[in-house]
Amino acid sequence: MGPTNNRGTRMIELINDDCRNHVSRIAEHDNCLVIYDPPYDEWDQVINVEATSKIAFTSPQRRHETENILGKPRNEIVWFFKDGRWVSKNLPRITHNYIFIYGKTSDAAVGPDQEIKTMKKGYTSIGKDNLGPRIFTTKPRKHLNSVLEYPRNMKSGSWGKPIGLLKNIIEWIDPDIVFDLYMGTGSAGKACLNLNKSYVGIEKNSDVFEKTKAHFRPENRQ
Ligand SMILES: C[S@@+](CC[C@H](N)C(=O)[O-])C[C@H]1O[C@@H](n2cnc3c(N)ncnc32)[C@H](O)[C@@H]1O
């Protein structure tokens, strides 16, 4: 499936290949987000690319390998899932992963709408009481929290990431185009459809690719 157009509106492109053959294209875009979500035991084969923004999914056990390849993240989000998984009988059940953030982000508020309220903020700290009460108005939407709770996306296989989680992060970073180097079930692509962002998804495994491609046919989109 190729680009639908090149006139500044959304395009969706899906590629069945090793992502490392396509990374040179990323430099053509000056506001792009690269998503890294490789199988965690293949982090040592990942290539670091230059991009405006990058996010990387990694686990407590693999975070050092991720840092070896991509460097120290500017910021990190903890993805908390109650439906955890066991890696060993002798260790705590894993109920979180990390999302490392590199490069540009925006100040966009994300997440569900909330009621707009104006309220008194109370007096300020000791010694500043003479400033009087201050007024504070909530934003129509909330800011991103550093811990995001989403159940794992088990419908699509054990490694599908939650579409809502990706939607919040992509909206916050606000790129013009997303390169999803390890597409899998295409959760990031579905988030991009929802946000009307351009998306390039790359998947090496042909069986996985064909299944995911079918989900992107107009008649199968939700
Ligand atoms: C953890 S899954 C990605 C899950 C995806 N983010 C989602 O939400 O569905 C990793 C995927 O990367 C694919 N993969 C592994 N190595 C790859 C490579 N070099 N190039 C492209 N895809 C690769 C695997 O076949 C697998 O489908």
Q: How many helices (H) and strands (E) does the chain have?
A: 4, 10
Instruction: Decide: 201 in ligand 1 pocket, CB within 6 A.
Output: no
Instruction: Decide: 39 in ligand 1 pocket, CB within 6 A.
Output: yes
CA of 209 to the centre of ligand 1 (A): 9
Give the pLDDT score at 222: 59
CA of 20 to the centre of ligand 1 (A): 12
Those residues of the chain that have pLDDT short of 50 are 1-7
Question: Looking at ligand 1, which atom is closest to the CA of residue 159?
Answer: 1
User: Dihedral sign, CA of 160, 79, 73, 143?
Assistant: positive
Query: Could you give the CA distance from residue 76 to residue 69 in angstroms, rounded to a whole number?
Result: 16
Give the pLDDT score at 3: 42
Give the pLDDT score at 24: 94
- Rounded alpha-carbon distances, angstroms, from residue 12 to 3, 54, 136, 205: 5, 19, 41, 19
Give the pLDDT score at 168: 92
CA of 36 to the centre of ligand 1 (A): 9
Q: Name the residue among 112, 47, 105, 115 with its Cα closest to residue 75.
A: 105
Give the pLDDT score at 179: 98
Domain 13-108+144-220, CATH homologous superfamily name and number: Vaccinia Virus protein VP39 (3.40.50.150)
- Rounded alpha-carbon distances, angstroms, from residue 78 to 95, 150, 164: 10, 11, 15
Q: What is the C-alpha end-to-end distance of the chain, expressed in Å?
A: 18
Q: What are the residue boundaries of the structural domains of the chain, listed by start?
A: 13-108+144-220
- Rounded alpha-carbon distances, angstroms, from residue 37 to 58, 166, 189: 7, 12, 13
Query: Could you give the CA distance from residue 173 to residue 192 in angstroms, rounded to a whole number?
Result: 12
Atom 7 of ligand 1, nearest CA residue: 160
Atom 25 of ligand 1, nearest CA residue: 205
Give the pLDDT score at 84: 87
pTM recorded for the entire structure: 0.86
Q: Most distant CA pair in the chain: distance in Å?
A: 68
CA of 38 to the centre of ligand 1 (A): 5
- Rounded alpha-carbon distances, angstroms, from residue 42 to 38, 156, 164: 6, 20, 25
Query: Could you give the CA distance from residue 205 to residue 99 in angstroms, rounded to a whole number?
Result: 24
